[in-house]
């Protein structure tokens, strides 16, 4: 070990700490939640509300995905981007299942 070792280790330790803080993807919207059996008890207004909630989660995840570059440490960028990408994929699957169930039941979709 030489005198520069602490200078080399400190940035790596900081990167590891920030990467840990970036967190793993949460299962706020999972494809399991989008199964037909889970959606069966929902009425049309509940389906519309769930679609809106899932679209909001998806929008937040897309915003985090696009803002990932703002993180200072490259490891944190990669972790944050991957987490957001996973959440967007889950939200897309959930939206597809919710919309399919809405259409199957003949519920009218809200006008935007």
High-pLDDT (> 90) share of the chain, %: 30
Q: Which among 64, 106, 110, 112 has a CA at the least distance from the CA of 88?
A: 64
Could you tell me which residue, 36 or 50, shows the higher pLDDT?
Answer: 50
Residues 21-37 have pLDDT tens digits of: 444 445 444 454 556 66
Rounded Cα gap, residues 42 and 87, in angstroms: 23
Closest by CA position to 58, among listed 32, 20, 96, 21: 96
What does the domain layout of the chain look like in residue ranges? 34-107
Q: How many CB atoms lie within 10 A of CB 89?
A: 15
Q: How many CB atoms lie within 10 A of CB 112?
A: 3
**pTM recorded for the entire structure:** 0.44
């Amino acid at each position: 070990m030489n005198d520069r070792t602490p200078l080399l280790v400190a940035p790596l330790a900081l990167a590891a700490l920030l990467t840990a803080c970036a967190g793993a993807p949460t299962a706020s919207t999972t494809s399991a939640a989008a199964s037909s059996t889970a959606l069966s008890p929902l009425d049309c207004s509940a389906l519309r509300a769930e679609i809106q909630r899932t679209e909001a989660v998806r929008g937040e995840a897309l915003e985090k995905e696009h803002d990932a570059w703002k993180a200072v440490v490259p490891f944190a960028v990669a972790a944050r981007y991957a987490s957001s990408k996973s959440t967007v994929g889950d939200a897309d699957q959930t939206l597809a299942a919710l919309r399919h169930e809405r259409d199957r039941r003949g519920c009218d979709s809200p006008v935007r």
